[in-house]
Amino acid sequence: MIERGIPLNEMIYAGKMPILALRGLTVFPDQTVHFDVGRSKSVLALEAAMKQDQTLLLIPQKDLMVDDPRLADLYSVGTVARVKQVLKNQGENLRVLVTGISRGKITEVSQTEPYMAGMVESLPTPETGDPVRAHAMRREANALYGLYVQLCEQPAQAVQLRMMTSESSGFVADAIAQNSGIDFADKAKLLCQLNPNKRLEMTLRLLRQEVEMLRLESDIQEKTKAALDQNQKDYYLREQMKVIREELGEGDEEAEFDDYAKKIQGLHLEKDSESKLLKDVERLKKQPFGSAEGAVLRNYLDVVLELPWGKRTKERIDVAAARKILEHDHFGMEKVKERILQTIAVRQLAPAMPPQILCLVGPPGVGKTSISYSIARSLNRKMARISLGGVHDESDIRGHRKTYIGAMPGRIMTALTQAGSSNPVLLLDEIDKMGADYRGDPSAALLEVLDAEQNHAYRDHYLEIPYDLSDVLFITTANTLDTIPRPLLDRMEIIELGSYTDEEKVMIAKNHLIPKALAKHGLKKSSLRITDDAIREIISCYTRESGVRNLERAFGEICRKAAMDVITREEPKKITVTGRNLEAYLGVRKFLPDRLPCRDQVGLVTGLAWTSVGGETLEVEVNVMDGSGKLELTGNLGDVMKESAHAALSYIRANAKTLGVAPDFYKNKDIHVHFPEGAVPKDGPSAGVTVCTAIVSALTGATVRRDVAMTGEISLRGRVMRIGGLKEKTMAALRHGIRTVIIPRDNERDLEEIDQTVRRQLNFVSAETVETVLNTALNRRSEVPPTILGELPGDVKPKTIQPELRQ
């Protein structure tokens, strides 16, 4: 029975009552709880309690899976509770509202069927310890529970007010345990703990764990929510884009990824390269549609797959067929043709040998680029051209890192893609005109490309995987070797292309340029004829050059005017261009024919010079005047040419008596040396003998033969030293009407490189000392006969100049 006049949570109860086992639920004293009842024994126990005084023992069971618990399956302490309300739910379940009265334990089980009942005894609450400590714990418990409610995002509960005003540690602990998410097992332990202070300490520890758990859950939920929101947004947009792409007929992305993977596997690359590309495909799959990184990866994979991995053209290894093609496309160029045919012959005997790197050096317009195309055609290889003129960034050769905006592969990889073959002929045009700045030196980047020992695993910065360039035939072109770095020059085989002779230009014009111009302008051979004398007149008076570029332009101008005549005439008539009517088509002659002076003169000597566009004659004039021994040099001269003039003067002063010059001329005579065409810069040592001959002529009064030209560097001892550009210089001499050319003895072997037409029309005098030059050029009796190199080809034997050879 219940003792009257005692507070509810302090009532002492003893007697027989129904026992209801709770599964996963704990009810604490002085707490109102509602729960569902569904098991038949529980329903019967509840009905029995309602028939009596509405009290029963609510005790939690240990194992939630046990459907019919016995005494051993229950905890030792439960709660004596009073039933406030019973509602019937759908089915046989009941909704029960109860209020806990006190803790209780079973002293004896009187029955187990049809429901469990027995003797129950209320458990007294022991006396508390230090009241100050208890108060502090209650304050901490209230604050911690307020934080807990805030983290749970629940509205303030009425029990919080009771907790804040309560002075019972047991009540605060029970209220927190009943209204928090503490685990069921821990709640059962709290129910079994009778000491209020210890129970509150346990509750604080468990509540702190719950608060930390809620904080972690809150962080996780926020991050998850943000990720879910973004993912949902991405998913929604992706689905929209998918529908749009399907409407546009752009296909499915998955099919695109599978296509990338199949193409990469079909290339049969090295394991590392294939693995890297497949990883990039996997990365692309994870990118949202339209993302910047996805666009970079797509572009990168497209560039890689466009490269001609393993694609090769079948090379033609036939010397006779290659010779036929080269001869058909170009006239002359025997050295280049022979070198290419040698390469083909070696490839036929040793196919595994890597091709050599050729560098074609020569003046503009001699056919360096066009011969490269003929080489590709003769070898049956694809052709790609890279213009290096003005390139000053290393990235142009090696490419940019693909992380940069607008990155692209280098010119080498781009050319291979354009060629569509891994063994093309790659023409590096104008390699001598590359520059360098703060962005790097492109010539240094070419060192790996043009090295047969390294280019089998060439790495472009954009590709990041090795590519084999060992099968590529590299051909470079240049106008001069002076600006090419030495390490780069060392990797190439130099083949020099000299200037064309006039006869070679005539043959090129007749066989190549005129038919090409006629076809280009829609004319037939029957409608326009250009005679040989007109061709020679154009070469000598309109296009004085080393190559044939301006000559081709001149034929184009003739064809345009001829086409106008054909269209405007009522009766078509064949047009013939001759030397007489040439001015009607090309205008006034730009260059007058070279004419020798009408007589031999004192102090006027013809020298020979080399320029980037071929050879030129160079006149040297000397005047001697009374004065104080000054030497005046004019004509826009460089330092090297000035030094040569001083060296010549020093030689004359040292050998004045032998040369027949007054010994004190340097005291009372001023010498003025002038090179005409003062607007043209001039430099180089090869005019040394020319200046020396002109000064000696002016000082002695001896005339200089007008049909003699000379070239050579002079030393202080009077030696005639070796020079360069002999082929171009001799052709300039022939155009000028010269008949005798004086050359250094060391240049005799270079005569084999000179065209046979030029050799037959010129007499070559080999000079080792200045005495030989003076005896040949000056109109005076020579004590030491000079040496003439005859006109016979091959091994030329010297012979003595006879007096009748002089004119």
pLDDT digits (tens, 9 = 90+) for 350-363: 887 878 888 998 88
3-state helix, strand, coil in the chain (%, to 5): 45, 20, 35
Indicate the burial class of 322 (C-beta count within 10 angstroms; 0-12, 13-18, 19 or more).
buried
**Quick count: other Cβ atoms within 10 Å of Cβ 765?**
23
Residue burial 201-216, b: 16+ Cβ < 10 Å; e: rest: bbbbebbeebbeebee
**Quick count: other Cβ atoms within 10 Å of Cβ 692?**
28
CA–CA distance, 421 with 774 (Å, rounded to integer):
61
CA–CA distance, 682 with 634 (Å, rounded to integer):
10
Q: Residue 391: its pLDDT value, please?
A: 85
CA–CA distance, 436 with 443 (Å, rounded to integer):
8
What's the mean pLDDT in 33-37? 90
Residues 6+ apart with CB under 8 A from 376: 382, 383, 424, 425
Q: Residue 646: its pLDDT value, please?
A: 93
- Please list the residues that pair with 442 across neighbouring strands: none
Instruction: Give Cα separations from 547 to 376, 543, 761 (angstroms).
Output: 22, 9, 21
Q: Which two tokens stand for residue 417?
A: 């893609």
Helix H or strand E segment including 493: strand 493-496
User: Is the model's pTM score more than 0.85?
Assistant: no
Give the residue carrying structure tokens 């050729």: 358
- Band (pLDDT 50/70/90 cuts) for residue 781 is low
Q: Residue 126: its pLDDT value, please?
A: 78
What's the mean pLDDT in 685-707? 92
- Band (pLDDT 50/70/90 cuts) for residue 7 is very low
Give the residue carrying structure tokens 């001829």: 562
**Angle, nearest 10°, between helix axes 253-266 and 271-286?**
170
CA–CA distance, 83 with 56 (Å, rounded to integer):
8
CA–CA distance, 224 with 226 (Å, rounded to integer):
5
Tell how far CA 643 is from the center of its chain: 48
Specify the 3-state DSSP secondary structure of 330.
coil
Q: Would you please indicate which residues are annotated as catalytic (active-site) residues?
A: 686, 729
Give the residue carrying structure tokens 């019973």: 86
- Band (pLDDT 50/70/90 cuts) for residue 155 is low
Q: Residue 12: its pLDDT value, please?
A: 55
Residues 6+ apart with CB under 8 A from 805: 740, 763, 788
CA–CA distance, 610 with 618 (Å, rounded to integer):
10
pLDDT digits (tens, 9 = 90+) for 507-535: 889 989 999 999 999 888 888 999 999 99
pLDDT digits (tens, 9 = 90+) for 179-234: 888 888 888 999 898 888 889 899 999 989 988 888 888 888 788 777 777 777 77
Nearest CA among 731, 368, 332, 753 for reference residue 511: 332
Above 60 in pLDDT, residue 64? yes
Task: Say if residue 593 is preceded by a cis peptide, omega within 30 of 0.
Answer: no
- Band (pLDDT 50/70/90 cuts) for residue 253 is low
Give the residue carrying structure tokens 């004419």: 595
CA–CA distance, 277 with 463 (Å, rounded to integer):
10
Above 50 in pLDDT, residue 6? no
Of residues 11 and 346, more confidence is placed in 346
Q: Which two tokens stand for residue 340?
A: 């290419």
pLDDT digits (tens, 9 = 90+) for 525-580: 888 999 999 998 898 888 878 788 899 999 999 999 988 888 887 776 788 999 88
Percentage of the chain with pLDDT > 70? 91
Average pLDDT, the chain: 84
Give the residue carrying structure tokens 């080792």: 768
